[in-house]
């Protein structure tokens, strides 16, 4: 398991955000982004470290625990609409009106490169890995990891894992082009949102480098969260648990060494307690 849960802000997102701000943020007036939670948390933290203002636009589907955590880091939160696309429209307005630097959550070269460092670290530590399971949302993580992994080890198999409810990248790849998908409530809330139309980088990366995509039911994701807690003593959010869940459900049957990217821990703890308690009773 590649435990991105141990990052300062609880998820892998700090990699891409830090890379972007180091490369482009020194002269910026401030920063703005749309996010389902973890990207916002990373951006708020990094902006605070630089002493610059940060505005985060979120839809009303984002869980309250993630909103509170971002606000606690000093970001100005704007709740806009019912989807990531609605929130992005407010970002675009703020870029024009306030002159803030936009920090995209996934479809950006600097962000993708930052996320790809995960694959380099995995293969440095465990070069024998044959299969990588990576959470799939907008494709910054999955696309960056897959491209980096295959640049080091072309034979490695990289599988993107998402939820059945509103998996925008999976639907887009099936359609052969970016498409709009209705965003729905899910335990894997960090994987929600569209991939952007047009999409500049991540659709092509996922189309080129991912070997397969697996979609999970809410019950399977819940089992992944609970297994991580009871068997691995790890607190993992739904999006972070999808690789574990895919193995538990038998939807991946690898023959060699498998690495699972456990992407984040930022779950509402009352929900976590409910899920793991119910799982223990089964």
Q: Is 22 left (phi over 0), alpha (psi -120 to 50) or beta?
A: alpha
Helix axes 140-152, 202-209, angle to 10 degrees: 50
Q: Which of 11-15, 37-41, 156-160, 259-263 has the lowest mean pLDDT?
A: 37-41
Determine the average pLDDT of the residues in 234-241.
98
For residue 216 the two structure tokens come to 């999970």
Task: Give the whole-angstrom CA distance, residue 113 versus residue 131.
Answer: 20
pTM for the whole structure: 0.93
pLDDT in tens, 149-194: 999 999 999 999 999 999 999 999 999 999 999 989 999 999 988 9
What would the 3-class secondary structure string for the chain be?
CEEHHHCCCCECHHHHHHHHHHHHCCCCCCEEEECCCHHHHHHHHHHHHHCCCEEEEECCCCCHHHHHHHHHCCCEEEECCCCHHHHHHHHHHHHHHHCCEECCCCCCHHHHHHHHHHHHHHHHHCCCEEEEEEECCCCHHHHHHHHHHHHHCCCCEEEEEEECCCCHHHHHHHHCCCCCCCCCCCCCHHHCCCCCCCCCCHHHHHHHHCCEEEEECHHHHHHHHHHHHHHHCCCCCCHHHHHHHHHHCCCCCCCCEEEEEECECCCCHHHHHHHHHHHHHC
User: Would you list the domain boundaries of the chain?
Assistant: 9-102, 109-281
pLDDT for res 66: 87
Indicate if the pLDDT at residue 282 is higher than 60.
Answer: no
Mean pLDDT of 127-135: 98
Q: pLDDT band for 254, please (50, 70, 90 cuts).
A: confident
What are the pLDDT digits (tens) for 51-64? 999 999 998 888 88
Write down the catalytic residue from 18, 137, 172, 263: 263
Confidence of residue 281 (pLDDT cuts 50, 70, 90): low
Q: What is the CATH number of domain 9-102?
A: 3.40.50.1100
Given this chain, do its domains 9-102 and 109-281 carry the same CATH topology?
A: yes
pLDDT for res 30: 94
So what CATH class is 109-281? alpha beta
263: annotated active-site residue: yes
Residues listed for the chain: 282
Average pLDDT, stretch 221-233?
97
Q: What span, in angstroms and rounded, lies between the C-alpha atoms of 193 and 163?
A: 12
> What are the pLDDT digits (tens) for 193-222?
899 999 999 999 999 999 999 999 999 999
Q: Are 223 and 248 in contact (CB under 8 A)?
A: yes
Active site (annotated) includes residue 52: no
Q: Is the pLDDT of residue 263 over 60?
A: yes
Give the C-alpha separation, 52 to 232, whole Å. 38
- Which residues contact residue 96 at a Cβ distance below 8 angstroms, ignoring those fewer than 6 apart? none
**Tens digit of each residue's pLDDT (9 = 90 or more) over 18-28:** 999 999 988 99
Q: What angle do CA 68, 70, 74 make, to 5 degrees?
A: 110
Average pLDDT over residues 101-124: 97
Q: Which of 13, 52, 150, 165 is catalytic?
A: 13
| Rounded-to-integer distance, Cα 202 and Cα 65, Å | 28
Residues 27-86 pLDDT 10s: 999 999 998 889 999 999 999 999 999 999 998 888 888 899 999 999 999 999 888 888
């Amino acid at each position: 398991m590649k435990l991105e849960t141990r990052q300062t802000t609880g998820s892998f997102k700090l990699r891409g955000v830090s890379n972007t701000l180091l490369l482009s943020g020194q002269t910026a007036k401030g920063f703005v982004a749309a996010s389902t939670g973890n990207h916002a948390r990373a951006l708020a933290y990094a902006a605070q470290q630089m002493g610059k203002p940060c505005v985060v636009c979120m839809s009303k589907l984002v869980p309250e625990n993630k909103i509170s955590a971002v606000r606690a880091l000093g970001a100005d939160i704007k709740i806009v609409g019912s989807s990531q696309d609605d929130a992005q429209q407010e970002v675009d307005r703020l870029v024009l009106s306030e002159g803030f630097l936009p920090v995209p959550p996934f479809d950006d070269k600097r962000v993708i490169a930052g996320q790809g460092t995960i694959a380099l670290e995995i293969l440095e530590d465990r070069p024998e890995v044959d299969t990588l399971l990576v959470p799939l949302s907008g494709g910054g993580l999955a696309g960056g990891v897959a491209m980096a992994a295959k640049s080091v080890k072309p034979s490695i198999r990289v599988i993107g894992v998402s939820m059945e409810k509103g998996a925008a990248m999976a639907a887009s790849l099936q359609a052969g082009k970016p498409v709009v998908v209705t965003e729905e409530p899910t335990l894997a809330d960090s994987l929600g949102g569209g991939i952007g139309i047009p999409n500049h980088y991540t659709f092509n990366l996922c189309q080129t480098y991912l070997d397969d995509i697996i979609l999970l039911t809410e019950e399977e994701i819940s089992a992944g969260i609970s297994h991580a807690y009871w068997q691995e003593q790890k607190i993992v959010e739904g999006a972070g648990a999808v690789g574990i869940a895919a193995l538990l459900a038998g939807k991946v049957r690898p023959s060699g060494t498998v690495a699972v990217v456990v992407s984040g821990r930022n779950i509402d703890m009352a929900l976590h307690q409910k899920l793991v308690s119910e799982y223990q009773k089964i």
